[in-house]
Structure 1
Amino acid sequence: MELLRKLFSGIMLTLLLISMLGLMFNIQPVKASGTIYIRADGSIDPPTAPIQRDGDIYTFTDNIYDEIVVEKSNIIIDGAGYTLQGSGSGTGFWLYGMNGVTIKRSNIQGFSYGIALSHSFYNSLSENTIINCTLMGIGVWSSSHNIISNNSITNNKYGVHLSDSQSNTISENIVANNSIQGVGIDSSFYNTLAGNNIINNGWGESGLLEELSGVHLCYSSNNTLRNNRMAGNRYNFMVSGRVLSHFFQDVDESNTVNGKSIYYFVNRRNAEVPFDAGYVALVQSYNITVKELELKNNGHGILLFNTTNSEITNNSIRNNTYGVFLWYSSNNTISGNNVTNNVSGIRLEDSPSNILSGNSVTNNGLGIGLSSSSNNVLRNNIIADNSDNFRVEGSVLLDFIQDVDTSNTVDGKPIYYWINRQNEEVSPSAGYVTLVNCTNITVKNLGLDNEAIRLFFTRNSTIAQNTVTNYLYGDGGIWVSNSSNNNVYGNNITNGWFGIYLDSSSYNTIYGNTIAGILEVGGITLSGSSYNNVHDNTITDGLGLWLWGSSNNMITQNTVDANSWYGGLQISGSSNNVIYHNNFVMNRDQIYISDSVNVWDDSYPSGGNFWSNYTGIDEFSGPNQDEPGSDGIGDTPYIIDEDNQDRYPLMNPWKKATFMASDVVRTTDDLNVREGPGLSYAVIDTMIKGNEGVVLSGPIEADGYNWWYINYSVGVVGWSAENWLELAPTPPSSPQNFVYWAEGAIEWAMNRLGRNDWSGLCMRFVANAFMQKEHEPAGYNAIDGAREFYRFDQDPNGWLKAPKGALIF
């Protein structure tokens, strides 16, 4: 389950958790050749650089086309309006371990980083223009008490970014048109942002969604924001973190988003958010009302963290990363809201016992998501046209205990969220199905768009002949978690991130499913799952069969064709699986395997798997492939790695056998019986048309025929070609069957009618039913008997009116 959350179930959660200490912020700037140094002794290296020194003041006298590394503290560098020009890489000004340095009036452009400070303190960056840097305008790492003021920082990838830094001041800057982010504060504390204009950032290119913002406070606490104007950014303002302290910020209503005030309540009680709010966060608050607001274009429309007994009602919430986000919050009511065009509509994380009612949640990425949040009540919510309408996630049974009835709909169809149900069938009208701790439930003939069928802690149920398609990042077409002894067959699953996913589940049978166009994880994936039987499935045009930490499974008779990126078979940490009679055809990577030892064939002559990239030949036969004559099996093994090999690779794609061992077959024409499977073997005898025999083994393909090893009833044992064989018909019912049904009919009359004087009629019906010719339908007499029997049960005086053919047996 944890693996799924890291991959896919947890895409929305990942957006909140990932720190921006990644590629952009852990890479320290690198010096380039031609660099100018201001040395620790105050000298300029090289001395020909157009910089004039006057004591501790360094003034540009011309434009400079190199990087500058500052190695001296307590100096002033005055750009005097000149340009420091880069060539698309390197760092304009690079300070490491420097204190008391002022950099001002410089035009800095065309570097990877405009100005970079690391482990530096009490420096001042002011009145600079920083543009067109491929990574960052100003980057600050592990530094404190610096002042960044009155700069114009535009058209970079990131504007200003602080990481692991504290007590810095960012004020009166223009931060605009940076393609990913304006100002980012990451894992940093007690910083001040004041009087900045942060506009039109986050529109230039794709990135992590929380990065596409004006201001983002991530994993940071106790920062102060005053009089900042955020407008026109893709997402104006966002706060994210993992623990309560990350949400302790001092942000007052003097800050605005698109001209409306930010209301960031911390430790507030019994209040209502004013009508002019453009952003709302409730942190460790109680009994707050948020109603009839328009909240848009932020990281969160409404954020609740560790907040209780509050009401979110009748708001319009759109175009945010998260529309409504509850974390560690309980006993709140979210009702009557219009939540649309957000990346995630309504999201609850570790938040139990809330009420969601009467909300319209449409055109979001995720509609409503409940993660590790139990005992929430959902009523009359309209969930439609989201990429993933409704999802419940968790790792223990309690996480899935929710009160969700059919008054909730997805795309106009009712939600069936069943808990502790048994011996029932889900209505074909269902638009969403989740079974929690259920037994013997049937889910059949459903057509689901953008929804998966989910089983949690469920047993002995059947998921059959459903069509699941067009979901974007749901848990999967069919998701089976901590469940056992279920049958999943005949389903058609297309165009999603997962096909059929088994997580920590055992003794399930997955067969006869068609899966195509899977994008992220295997068409069929077994994760931490054992003793399952996966057979006769077809997986194409996406990703194939994946086994992670799964053992003792049977993988047979599947076709895995034309898949990409480890598309055939991916096995990691999975041993003692038996894998044979599968077709691996033209996959980009037929197999990837690590830390696994498995069985790859069914011994000789049954054989192993068909691998389309096998280059061996077939000139010999026998268990050691050293006997004359081909047998449809490669003469050399298919080597997978040093611990795994298919000893008997098939030369042609596996076809499902016409017969099985112990089947009774008969000849459809005179048929030769040979010593071996092929035309080169001697004829032992010839069976005339109609001879019967028992299949012992096979088939083996040779000389264009499938050969079966048969023990004929006349005492001849040998190999015959399939083309002139068929299953022998089942013999007619034995007399014991007549006695059985006759006794059953009399018992019915006694138990149902309380009398035995109608037993003659019962006997008459059974006798008539058995007085038919072999292979012909029951005659009119048998039908008449059934009519009489049926009508007596319904109306003893009107049995002659019974509909013809109303058979009860």
Structure 2
Amino acid sequence: MTKKMIVLMLLIGMFLTSLPLTDSNVTENSINYIKQSPFRINNNSDFSTYASSGDGSEENPWVIENYNISDEDSYVGIYIGNTTEHYILRNCLISNLSFAPISNRNCIYIYNSTNGIVDGNNVTDHDNGIVVEDSKKMVVKDNEIAVMDSYGIVFAGCSNSTAKNNYIRVANQGITFTDGTEYSKALNNDIKYVDDGIVSYSDNNFIEENNIANFTTGIFIGFCQYQTIKNNIIEIQEGSLNNVRADPCIGIVSRLSGDSLIDGNYISNTIYAIYSDDSVGNDIKDNVVDSNQIGIYVENSGHELVRGNIVSNNTDYGVLIDKSNNTNIYGNLIQNNKESGEGDSVGVRITSYEDSIVYHNNFINNDVHGSCADINNDWNAPYPIGGNYWDTYDGYDNYSGINQNIAGSDGFGDTSFTISGGEPPIVDEYPLMERIDLFPEEEVEEPQPQPDEEVHPFTNLAENITVAVIIFAIGIVAVMVIKMFSGDKNVYD
């Protein structure tokens, strides 16, 4: 019996036990489900046939609810198409539909529709769960979707639509944006046991605050730009059913994409936490990548920013830059990257190409702090900005100036720190004597209350300050890092 089959059997059993077992109406979770054959709403005039209430206005949308649909001769459970009126499709049970060899085998299929909400439905054991095509202003939320041969939720050719708070188990892809879907969001979804958690092939979308576990790829963006991937938790959970999956697992992948923000994510126990391949201009910032094989891997790419990340406990490399140029690596905490077996783990490795820069990072307790195969990369910014903090540097600071020959200390070591040997050696010309405070707390002047004026404790905060609280675990020690920074992308900040 294959490992994937074990997962499918366990998940089918878990979800199908919640479904009605008779052909009569049943009551479950305080909902009186109505046994119903699959049906189609082909235009606005059909809503009244299946709606329990409403008139299609924004204030009083059509409500289609509480249907129990199970029909082995039908390949679509509910179809709604070519509609403009407001509606809510909610609390329906859909399962055991036909797997006839045709396209569009969907539990719920929305086509050319606007102003719809698909809420709280339970769909299981089919090809696709909820497919929304050529539609806009759609919301798909709080649905339970399990055991899909292909897709959990699909937005194809849509705009300004949202998938949020959905619970997805066992699918090829959990949530997919494709065919030009734009300005759409995947928010706070819980996704497990999938090949790909969330996938976007379209520009200008947002993937935020999702929990994705036990996957081949957590989040994949391909052939697109202007994505925001923010504050997601992406991990392989040890001791869980995920160990059924023996495939290499990658947290976030950007392939043939660019100009995207990968910000504030927590990624753990993967092969590569963040992998940027054949991409340009991504901003990889403020992520926690802990206990992976490689923390951040940039390959065949250019003009990438790697800044403000916590890169720890990775066994091969903390940051690996391979066949890429113009990568800026600064303001990162790179620590405890150690190989448990033979060989060494490297904090930052640059293998080839040129014009990358590494500065203002803290290198602490790594097997090897840095490694570089090309002299045409810089491991420090120009004086007086300087280089990096290396906890193994044992030099002194008695002099200052661009040549470190003027009496008086300046916070930089008087001698360089060697990254790699050779002729000439690759060095940090201005190693820092003390760790950089990478995540300083902003000092904010408290407002002075005026007579008879109540002052709220969060008013008058400095404009454009972002507060990111990242709670993560290293071993059994919980670490809270409060970051406050301006978000300036100037590499010499």
Larger radius of gyration: 1
RCO comparison, higher one (Cα < 8 Å, 6+) = 2
**Normalising by structure 1, what TM-score?**
0.31
